[in-house]
Amino acid sequence: MRVVSGIQPTGNLHLGNYLGAIRQWVAMQDAIPAGDDCLFFLADLHALSQPVIPAELDANTTEMAATLLACGIDPKRSILFNQARVPAHSALHWILGGTARMGWLSRMTQWKDKAGKKGETQSVGLFTYPVLQAADVLLYQATHVPVGEDQKQHLELARDIAVKFNTDYGDTFALPEPLISKAAPRIMSLRDASAKMSKSDPSDASRINLVDSDDLISSKIRKAKSDADALPEAVADLAERAEARNLVTIYAALEGSTPDAVLAQYAGQGFGVFKPALADLAVATLAPIRDRLTALLEDRAAVAAVLADGAARATTLAAPTLAAAQRAVGLQV
Ligand code: TYM
């Protein structure tokens, strides 16, 4: 079993990242014996697919690494690093660029959403982004990739690339399996339940950031869109109430229970009761993470040392697969 996943070091980590991905990372890390089986990285190269402010990218990389540590990633059990420090990612990305097809990439919904009608003006990196993502996981022979639902299509593409490469040049890569959180596959915006909670939403009120103060968390939940009805007894009755469903999903994911169990507790109550309870639960979960993060950021050199050590270990693990891929296509290196 080899678990690999990444996160872009742009902006803050939010509740969608935490419930959809990071909590699964920590659970998997804690479930398997310490060793070389879990690799988690800051996808700083992916961040370059959009314009960046260099000093911000640099600072965000350290801060996002500290946030992952605060969430429970343990550098003794997992390998934590930033992608740019392991040049094998870029090297394999180029090789896989010969295998991926333009048509496959054109069908990626993330590309279509982000590029819209302005594809011609987007960076080449935004288009080839999923090829780098395929390299990220294939490089380590990943078997399990814990991600939110929005990344599923990219993982399917990684499998397609691996299958074609293995067919064309001989068996080189394991086929990675996306692991989508059952509790929180897609946490939605607090302002618009038809959009996912996202770092790129211009409204900060749409998301709960892991650095938000207790008061800010409570006020964002109080102001979250909901409706005037009482909560029902069954999840099926939330089918037409996207905002209510999202808040119940968040409660259940935070509590580690199920939406049905939450409704059993709150059926018949309105949001005047439910929202303060949700705010208390969110604060109780996130405040300790924020406190650990504050402490970690007092020693940025220690965080940098974790990343340097992780990169050294990842480089060693990546080398045999990169060499095999290079040999398979006939490159002399
Ligand atoms: P990124 O940085 O957008 O998000 C990191 C992780 O958080 C999940 N996520 C969510 N889950 C539930 N609800 C949400 N609202 C929500 N928003 C984000 C994402 O699905 C992801 O798991 N391309 C990736 C980073 C990446 C990567 C990889 C991931 C680069 N290489 C290789 C896995 C394997 C990205 O931009 O995720």
Q: Is the model's pLDDT at 25 over the cut of 80?
A: yes
Instruction: Among 33-47, 86-100, 270-284, 314-328, name the one with the lowest average pLDDT.
Output: 33-47
Q: What value, to the nearest 5°, has the Cα angle with vertex 138 and ends 183 and 80? A: 65
CA 23–ligand 1 middle distance (angstroms): 12
pLDDT at 35: 81
201 lines ligand 1 (CB under 6 A): no
- Give the CATH number, domain containing residue 36: 3.40.50.620
* 107 and 250 in a common domain: no
Would you say residue 106 lies in a domain?
yes
Q: What share of the chain is helix, strand, coil (3-state, %, to 5)?
A: 60, 10, 35
Q: Is the model's pLDDT at 118 over the cut of 90?
A: no
Would you say residue 322 lies in a domain?
yes
* 45 and 116 in a common domain: yes
Q: For a pLDDT cut of 70, what percent of the chain falls above it?
A: 100
Would you say residue 194 lies in a domain?
no
* 322 and 247 in a common domain: no
Which amino acid residue places its CA nearest to atom 1 of ligand 1? 7
Amino acid at 89: H
pLDDT at 259: 96
pTM across the whole model: 0.97
Task: Give the alpha-carbon dihedral of 203, 206, 208, 211, to 10 degrees.
Answer: 0
* 142 and 254 in a common domain: no
Would you say residue 15 lies in a domain?
yes
* 308 and 286 in a common domain: no
* 14 and 162 in a common domain: yes
pLDDT at 324: 98
pLDDT band at 41; cut points 50, 70, 90: very high
| Average pLDDT of the residues in 193-218 | 96
What domain range is 38 assigned to? 2-185+299-329
* 62 and 156 in a common domain: yes
pLDDT per residue as tens digits for the range 133-144: 999 999 999 999
Q: Is the model's pLDDT at 12 over the cut of 90?
A: no
Pick from 3, 147, 175, 209 the residue to mutate for probing ligand 1's pocket: most ligand atoms within 8 Å of its CB: 147
pLDDT per residue as tens digits for the range 165-187: 999 999 999 999 999 999 999 99
- Give the CATH number, domain containing residue 215: 1.10.240.10
Which amino acid residue places its CA nearest to atom 33 of ligand 1? 5
pLDDT at 143: 96
On average, the pLDDT of the chain sits at: 96
Q: How far apart are CA 194 and CA 186, in angstroms?
A: 11
Q: How far apart are CA 224 and CA 95, in angstroms?
A: 46
